[in-house]
Amino acid sequence: MEKPILCYPVVVEGKYDQIKLSSLFEGQIFTTEGFGIFKNEEKKAFFKRLAGRTPLIVFTDSDGAGLVIRNYFRSILPAEKVIHLNIPQVQGKEARKSAPSKEGFLGVEGIDAQLLRTLFAPYTTSEQHNTHPSANTPAPYTGGTLTRMRLYELGYEGAENSKEKRQALLSRCGLPRNLSAKAMVEALNLLYGDEELEKML
């Protein structure tokens, strides 16, 4: 089954939420690392810069912690740049956990795949370009076309000092230095065009 393409970057709380959405959609999905966003100035700055380019979809759990994170994004980003999607409060626990969450609700990772597809339907398309299934569906945000193969060719992956080179580049771009190579490519493509990327690399 072909995955729908997310029209905007999505922000979730943790890696299991990211894995769940990545199994259903093509697109950029970033994590807040739970409450880590509150103290991570680099990540906060990244989301602010990203919101300067494109709206962000904030998709957190339906519990109190998820609400706190949502409200934090309301405080640091312009309202017109944030799309808040909410999951229903469903009682249960995720398969990987030994006990339910404190409030007893399923998080993003535990929500039924079909329900997630329905929630994201207004913000996804099956087309790579500007032809959409509906006139109301926004065009996917596109930036640069940097690939991991290009990083490999330039020594940012697979070389002895690749990690140091990536961290230097991330630092120069004002991005979180703990981004994986995959997340780094996604972030750079969202923030820069191809000409800018080539100059920096």
d(CA 166, CA 150): 13
**Mean per-residue pLDDT over the chain, rounded:** 84
CA 88, 138, 188 angle in degrees (round to 5)? 90
**Which residues are registered as beta bridge partners of 10?**
29, 57
**Which residues are registered as beta bridge partners of 83?**
57
Which of 111 and 21 is assigned the larger pLDDT?
21
Is the pLDDT reported for residue 172 higher than 70? yes
State residue 142's pLDDT score. 63
Residue 36 in tokens: 């880590």
Domains and CATH numbers, the chain: 5-125 (3.40.1360.10), 148-200 (no CATH)
Whether the predicted model's global pTM rises above the 0.85 cut: no
State residue 97's pLDDT score. 67
d(CA 97, CA 3): 27
d(CA 118, CA 133): 14
Burial class (CB in 10 A: 0-12, 13-18, 19+), 138: middle
Give pLDDT tens digits for 25-39.
998 999 998 999 999
Is the pLDDT reported for residue 129 higher than 80? no
Token pair 């191809």: residue: 194
Q: Write the single-letter amino acid at 56.
A: L
**Which residues are registered as beta bridge partners of 12?**
31
State residue 200's pLDDT score. 82
Average pLDDT over residues 83-93: 80
Element of type H or E holding 198: helix 194-200
Question: What's the distance, CA 104 to chain centroid?
Answer: 25
**Which residues are registered as beta bridge partners of 91?**
105
Q: How confident is the model at residue 98 (pLDDT cuts 50, 70, 90)?
A: low
The gap between the terminal CA atoms of the chain, to the nearest Å, is 36
CB-based contact 188:147 (threshold 8 Å): no
Q: Write the single-letter amino acid at 63.
A: D
Average pLDDT over residues 21-25: 94
